[in-house]
């Protein structure tokens, strides 16, 4: 049951992310892209490394490999595919965000919500903020799914006390 809730929640989250990205592209000001890399490629590399290591869903997928049909074949593909989808979503979101608002005006605590407020869409900003808070629940559900399987394996192997 928990698996289906997590699947539906993640699906809704991806659809909402795509909708926000699509809406944001209507408010892009191309002047915000000049200069395109104001802090150089080093800052982009640092940001990419931070985002990559912030995504811990791959370990939850790995713990599900034991229950997958032919896990050795399918799990690497699933992990790479989910990584590619996340990468595309991150790139589209950052292109949308940097096009909507000058990079010097970003609010590091709520950059997307503030960008939508700056273009006159406070309702979208509020929905986006609520969505961000609710999205944390999907991450927690995914972690619960993964940790329960890890505990089961550890108990089966005798690594947990009786």
**Res 29 pLDDT > 90:** yes
Task: Write the burial class of residue 83 (CB in 10 Å: 0-12 exposed, 13-18 middle, 19+ buried).
Answer: middle
- pLDDT for 34-65, tens place per residue? 988 888 899 889 988 887 766 666 666 677 67
Please report which confidence band the pLDDT of residue 132 belongs to, taking 50, 70 and 90 as the band edges: confident
| pLDDT: which is higher, 58 or 5 | 5
Short-list 52, 24, 22, CA closest to 111: 24
Q: Which of 53-57, 102-106, 120-124 has the highest mean pLDDT?
A: 120-124
- Dihedral pair phi/psi, residue 65, rounded to 5°: -60, -30
Q: Are 79 and 62 in contact (CB under 8 A)?
A: yes
What CA–CA distance (Å, rounded) separates 11 from 17?
10
Q: Are 114 and 125 in contact (CB under 8 A)?
A: yes
Instruction: Please tell me the predicted confidence (pLDDT) of residue 55.
Output: 67
**Res 139 pLDDT > 90:** no
**Res 109 pLDDT > 70:** yes
Q: Are 6 and 141 in contact (CB under 8 A)?
A: yes
| pLDDT: which is higher, 161 or 6 | 161
Q: Which residues contact 118 (CB under 8 A, 6 or more apart)?
A: 100, 101, 105
**Res 12 pLDDT > 70:** yes
Separation of first and last alpha carbons in the chain: 26
86: tokens are: 């996340």
pTM of the model: 0.78
Location of structure tokens 């006390």: 161
Domain boundaries, the chain: 2-156
């Amino acid at each position: 049951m928990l698996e289906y809730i997590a699947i539906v929640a993640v699906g809704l989250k991806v659809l909402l992310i795509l909708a926000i990205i699509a809406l944001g592209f209507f408010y892009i000001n191309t002047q915000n892209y000049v200069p395109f890399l104001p802090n150089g490629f080093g800052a982009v590399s640092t940001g990419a490394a931070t985002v990559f290591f912030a995504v811990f869903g791959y370990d939850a997928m790995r713990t599900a490999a034991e229950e997958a049909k032919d896990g050795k074949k399918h799990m690497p593909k699933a992990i790479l595919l989910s990584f590619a989808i996340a990468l595309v979503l991150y790139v589209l979101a950052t292109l949308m965000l940097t096009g909507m608002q000058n990079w010097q005006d970003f609010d590091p605590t709520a950059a997307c919500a503030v960008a939508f407020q700056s273009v006159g869409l406070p309702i979208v900003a509020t929905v986006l903020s609520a969505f961000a808070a609710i999205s944390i629940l999907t991450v927690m559900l995914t972690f619960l799914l993964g940790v329960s399987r890890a505990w089961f394996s550890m108990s089966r192997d005798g690594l947990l006390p009786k």
